[in-house]
């Protein structure tokens, strides 16, 4: 879910070409959930193989990753580890939302409302351990690196960006900014034409870049204050936030009183399910690891074909074409250098 | 304050054309001793370093360092309106944060553009020790780049003590352009060792656009290192490019 800062955070529209030659750490769960939500048949049924196993996540991962590498981008996927205990409530909430969505999906199907069925189906996606393992296996075969985060994936991705191992974090959520990522790229895994739910309207989704230093300067606040704002609006650890406070109001409150602690004295009836100080700690001192390797290899073309076509009934001609494109693009990416290598540090 | 006059407006047209191929927006730095710009393309493959000293202008006034952030496409559109024989006067309007470009020919035309606040880190020059250089005519470079593009999207440039070679290999064929010591196109050459590196033609094709404003060009490189291209502008000033190499195989 992540924190919603849309109202106050300014993003610059960019193109994938602007990211040419750059490594981007992509929030794997975020991307896989998006593939599961979007890659569905008109009635909301996800793609499945002959044994009934869902394959939407693998299809999205393959074609989207090939597309990124063809644009000269070097993706590295970051997988969530064990969630912090504070997140238990949000996890429960998500489960409840999904159960509700499954009910509504089945009702819509029963009354033959395909449009509604598809909409509810998008919210029913569950990413199982098997699916995560399949995704990792596919990445291995494709020669794309992934990192297993000890806890929150966004925290690990932000840490890698801070260290300079990647240029930016790729996610739909703004949380990586709270974790200190210098740059965030949104819409990286879903660029293209998208249909608006319930309307026969298509919109063009373009990637956007958000630079932490620029937004902090623009808003006149520190990163800690941005975290304070997020806590007022609602984070994964206190999903409800404080009633009636959105990003703009939260910004005004933090700017007026300086900090969350001081602002709370002036918000009658503000309450938190968990200690807000602990939430702040998670963002400021997240659990991250240095034991990872970020290296891109040529894909194992036959391996990918065997896995996706042999085990999961993908069309061989389409998969082969995609992996051959990946093979070519990866070679091209490896031959390209940037002037950064010759700037004296 | 800043005011500068060029008796041939087209010189500026060529310069702006060349700069705009790499970046959309960038800062010109006006100083008492001249005008300059250093900018890198978004993917950091190429960098441009432009200097036009005050005495290259017919008139030049600048009392303190001033940053002029411009949208180069906008400026390019204006300069496309320059006619042969026009003079160009640039005037910085401090109070309004605008730059006026005045073209004076049969009529007097004044274009104003709003200046932008562009935050850009100061760029250092790439540190490369060049082992070889060749000075060739600007049009010979233009032709060589076009020849190479017939078969490939990249070109290997080789500088030996007695000749410079452009070699492009495509899936279907090969193109070799040689300029030896007996060639009219080669004006000077020096190589402490044979040096060769491969570069992307897309970028080179953009860079040679400024060749129209220059007579000769100096190429400097070392094996698998960036290429430096210097176009010396007649009347003083230069446009230099750095281009990162492609490194084949592992």
Q: Find chain B residues with C-beta within 8 A of A17's C-beta.
A: 42-43
Task: Give pairs for B116-120: CB < 8 Å, separation 24+.
Answer: B116/B25, B116/B69, B116/B70, B116/B71, B117/B69, B118/B25, B118/B26, B118/B27, B118/B67, B118/B69, B119/A214, B120/B26, B120/B27, B120/B39
Percent of chain A with pLDDT over 70: 95
Do A1-219 and A220-285 agree at the fold level?
no
**CB within 8 Å: A18 and B247:** no
pTM over 0.90: no
Where b means 16+ CB within 10 Å and e means fewer, B202-233 reads: ebbbbbbbbbbbbebbbbbbbeebbbbbbbbb
User: Which pLDDT band holds residue B250 (cuts at 50, 70, 90)?
Assistant: very low
**Which residue in A214, A338, A344 is closest to B124 by CB distance?**
A344
Q: Which tops the pLDDT comparison, A101 or B198?
A: B198
What is the predicted pLDDT for the residue at A199? 64
Q: Is the pLDDT of residue B185 over 90?
A: yes
Best residue of B122, B201, B244 to probe chain A, by most A CBs closer than 10 Å: B244
Give the rounded distance of the alpha carbon of B227 from its chain centre.
13
Q: What is the pLDDT of residues A147-203, one digit of tens each?
A: 999 988 999 999 999 998 999 999 888 888 999 999 999 988 665 666 665 666 677
CA angle B141, B143, B148 (to 5 degrees): 95
Q: How far is CA B51 from CA A164, B8, B115, B119, B183, in A?
A: 32, 17, 20, 20, 30
CA distance A248 to A85: 29
CA distance B115 to B74: 11
Which of helix, strand or coil describes residue A337? coil
ipTM of the modeled complex = 0.85
Domains located in chain B, CATH noted: 2-114 (3.70.10.10), 132-243 (3.70.10.10)
Which of helix, strand or coil describes residue B231? strand
DSSP states of A223-283 as a string? HHHHHHHHHHH--TTSTT-STT--HHHHHHHHHHHSSHHHHHTTSTT---SS-HHHHHHHH
Choices 3.40.50.12780, 1.10.150.20, 3.30.360.10, 1.10.10.10: CATH for A220-285: 1.10.150.20
Fold category of A1-219 in CATH: Rossmann fold (3.40.50)
Would you state the structure tokens that stand for residue A150, as one six-digit string? 């000890």
Within 10 A of A341 (CB to CB), how many other CB atoms are there? 13
Cα distance from A71 to chain B (closest Cα, Å)?
11
């Amino acid at each position: 879910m992540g924190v919603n800062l849309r109202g106050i955070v300014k993003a610059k529209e960019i193109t994938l070409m602007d990211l040419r030659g750059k490594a981007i750490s992509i929030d794997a769960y975020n991307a896989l959930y998006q593939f599961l939500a979007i890659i569905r048949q008109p009635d909301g049924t996800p793609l499945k193989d002959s044994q009934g196993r869902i394959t939407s996540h693998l299809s999205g991962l393959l074609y989207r990753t090939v597309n990124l590498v063809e644009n000269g981008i070097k993706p590295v996927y970051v997988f969530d580890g064990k969630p912090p205990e504070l997140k238990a409530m949000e996890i429960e909430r998500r489960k409840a939302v999904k159960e509700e969505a499954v009910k509504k999906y089945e009702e819509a199907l029963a009354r033959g409302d395909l449009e509604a069925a598809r909409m509810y189906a998008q919210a029913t996606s569950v990413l199982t351990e098997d699916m995560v393992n399949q995704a990792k296996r596919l990445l291995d075969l494709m020669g794309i690196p992934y990192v297993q985060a000890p806890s929150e994936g966004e925290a690990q991705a932000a840490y890698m960006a801070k260290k300079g191992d990647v240029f930016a974090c790729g996610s739909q959520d703004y949380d990586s900014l709270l974790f200190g990522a210098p740059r965030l790229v949104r819409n990286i895994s879903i660029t293209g034409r998208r249909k608006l739910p319930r309307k026969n309207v298509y919109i063009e989704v373009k990637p956007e870049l958000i630079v932490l230093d620029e937004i902090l300067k623009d808003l006149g606040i520190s990163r800690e204050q941005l975290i304070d704002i997020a806590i007022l609006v609602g984070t994964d650890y206190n999903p409800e936030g404080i009633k009636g406070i959105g990003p703009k109001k939260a910004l005004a409150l933090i700017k007026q009183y300086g900090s969350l602690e001081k602002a709370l004295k002036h918000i009658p009836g503000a309450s938190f399910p968990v200690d807000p100080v602990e939430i702040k700690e998670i963002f400021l001192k997240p659990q991250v690891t240095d034991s990872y390797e970020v290296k891109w290899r040529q894909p194992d073309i036959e391996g990918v074909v065997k896995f996706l076509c042999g085990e999961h009934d993908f069309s061989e001609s389409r998969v082969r074409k995609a992996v051959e494109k990946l093979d070519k693009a990866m070679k091209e990416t490896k031959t390209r250098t940037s002037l950064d290598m010759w700037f004296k540090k | 304050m800043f005011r500068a006059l060029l008796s041939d407006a087209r010189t500026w047209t060529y310069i702006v054309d060349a700069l705009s191929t790499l970046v959309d927006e960038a800062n010109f730095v006006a100083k008492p001793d001249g005008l300059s710009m250093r900018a890198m393309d978004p993917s950091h493959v190429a960098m441009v370093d432009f200097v036009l000293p005050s005495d290259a202008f017919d008139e030049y006034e600048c009392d303190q360092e001033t940053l002029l952030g411009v949208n180069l496409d906008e400026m390019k559109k204006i300069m496309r309106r320059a006619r042969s024989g026009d003079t160009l006067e640039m005037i910085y309007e401090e109070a309004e944060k605008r730059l006026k470009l005045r073209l004076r020919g049969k009529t007097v035309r004044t274009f104003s553009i709003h200046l932008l606040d562009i935050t850009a880190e100061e760029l250092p020059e790439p540190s490369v020790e060049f082992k070889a250089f060749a000075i060739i005519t600007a049009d010979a470079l233009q032709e060589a780049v076009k020849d190479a593009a017939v078969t490939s999207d990249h070109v290997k440039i080789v500088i030996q003590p007695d000749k410079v070679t452009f070699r492009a290999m495509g899936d279907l064929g090969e193109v070799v352009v040689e300029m030896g010591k007996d060639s009219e196109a080669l004006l000077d050459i020096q190589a402490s060792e044979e040096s060769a590196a491969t570069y992307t033609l897309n970028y080179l094709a953009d860079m040679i656009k400024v060749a129209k404003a220059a007579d000769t060009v100096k190429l400097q490189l070392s094996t698998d290192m960036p290429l430096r291209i210097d176009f010396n502008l007649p009347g003083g000033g230069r446009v230099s490019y750095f281009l990162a190499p492609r490194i084949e195989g592992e």
